[in-house]
Structure 1
């Protein structure tokens, strides 16, 4: 198979849903309930295209163009399985309030700003993710460094979080109206 890759990156640590289903599991034989359900809903191609959950003309308007319940897919039908509300998505264990280096795989680096959000206390992972489920961003970083093929974003995680949460990332390019989106399930 030949062609030009259209994707540009996704969270690898804490891993995003697409990164996990593609690299930590196998799209042809997934092991977690979340990946199995996502592939059943949308097929394996979305996981092979794990790095292109994007909107070409977002231009900083993500909140107005991505509907509630479709944040993880960026409203794209191809990635609809990523929006499934479930409690069995594989998750990264984190410590609330800790300093970490968030890593986003840079398959095709671009200039831009990364904004990270966490779900609010009391968020229900069994319900569709809505914009109102997200706290204000806890980090906004422009032009982070790239090391070992990944953007390195040093952040302090939100304090007071316990249990299952989701970290939502918007990567808005500054050299184009294109934006990328990532959902990472975490447990504090």
Structure 2
């Protein structure tokens, strides 16, 4: 009789542990990343020494409402959670070749959140690629309204990149969540060319002929 009472006390604790684990897993799965962004290329092995993000490129999550809030300067690429992604030099990261004008940025979501918006920024002319990424390095280029809805598992945005700069730049995509106050940060390292004969291996993109970033390699 005493043995049965002890069993009954143990079972609820085990059940609570299982439920807690399931709740944690569910929350952790609702993430997303830009195809061929810095964290995605860590998973592909083109970027190395990335730390744990190589196994979950969709998890670069930090406080939202960027740039008023969000990760501290110098921790933007890693969202304040993945310091390996914040290491910044001119040669540290694999780059994708893009041209000024309209380019397609494709997101992959593992479990979409209701979305407030997506915002895009690019490093300014004359930025120093050997210094940590800060807000003062960035300028806003585009916003896509999320409509407070869950997006599909694949979303593509046509984003117009400046035509007044060339060479290594970072495009920052920020996925602002509507129902958590959090956001996902995606740094995309690009070799930006505005002369079709210099620094590009693909034809320039246009509204009539959008090319996926997957077609561009260093």
Q: TM-score, normalised by structure 1?
A: 0.78
Alignment of 1:86-125 (within 5 A): 86-88=89-91, 89-96=93-100, 98-112=101-115, 113-125=117-129
| Number of residues of Structure 1 aligned to a counterpart in Structure 2 | 164
Residues 13-69 of structure 1: CA deviation (Å, up to 9, x unaligned)? xx21110010x21xxxxxx5xx33x43xxx3x22112111112xx342554342111
Cα distance in 2 for residues equivalent to 1:53 and 1:59: 12
Would you say the 8 A contact 2:60–2:78 is kept in 1? Answer: yes
Structure 2: where are the runs of 5+ without partners? 1-20, 193-218
Q: Which residue of 2 aligns with 1:17?
A: 38
Structure 1: where are the runs of 5+ without partners? 26-31
Cα distance in 2 for residues equivalent to 1:154 and 1:128: 27
Alignment of 1:124-139 (within 5 A): 124-135=128-139, 137-139=140-142
The answer to which structure has the higher helix fraction is 2
- Computed over aligned residues only, the root mean square deviation of the Cα atoms, in angstroms, reads 2.2
RCO higher in structure (CA 8 A, sep ≥6): 1
Runs of 4+ with deviation above 6 angstroms: none
Task: Find out whether 1:82 has 2:85 as its counterpart.
Answer: yes
Q: CA deviation at 1:83?
A: 0.5
Would you say the 8 A contact 1:116–1:138 is kept in 2? Answer: yes
Would you say the 8 A contact 2:32–2:110 is kept in 1? Answer: yes
Would you say the 8 A contact 1:119–1:133 is kept in 2? Answer: yes
Q: TM-score, normalised by structure 2?
A: 0.68
Would you say the 8 A contact 2:172–2:188 is kept in 1? Answer: yes
Q: CA deviation at 1:86?
A: 1.8
Would you say the 8 A contact 2:67–2:135 is kept in 1? Answer: no
